[in-house]
Amino acid sequence: MEQKIYLAPFYLIAATFIGLGDTLFLSYYAFINAIPSCAIGGCEIVLSSPYSHPFGVPFGYIGLVYYAYMLALVILLVIDPASKGLRFGILAYTAIGLLCSIGFELFQYFVIGALCMYCAISALTTLLLFCLAVWHWRTSKKVFAPER
């Protein structure tokens, strides 16, 4: 029987590295207590607002933990692509991340009154991760379904 390679986990890894790069950049600037320059002009407002450090932790660190955990989940999925628990876990994890990203973007726009391009990159990356997770769930559900 021919073994078929599914690309969705590898696309998930690539998208996760985009998120890791973005949040590593923000985490570095948070660590040195500086604000990175911004092409759209709203990053300084968002990243220096009192809302950018919930419980004293910069959002860059929270995003870094999110993407690092996502990378670990996807690596496990590459090792065991038939695991229904991992497939569902990644789908649920990206759904929660997407809801949080939508909430953060709406909060920036309506409460802070500015948008951060680095936060938008993270939100779009999370949207991409969710779409890839749904794609993987749907395609792998057909392939790994128990035979009757």
pLDDT in tens, 53-93: 889 899 999 999 999 999 999 999 999 887 889 999 999 99
pTM above 0.85, yes or no: yes
Q: How many Cβ atoms are within 10 Å of 94's Cβ, its own excluded?
A: 25
> Average model confidence (pLDDT) for the chain?
89
Average pLDDT rounded to a whole number, residues 105-114: 93
**Does residue 29 register a pLDDT over 60?**
yes
Average pLDDT rounded to a whole number, residues 88-104: 96
pLDDT of residue 144: 64
Distance CA 109, CA 116 (A): 9
Question: What's domain 8-143's architecture?
Answer: Up-down Bundle (1.20)
Domain residue limits, the chain: 8-143
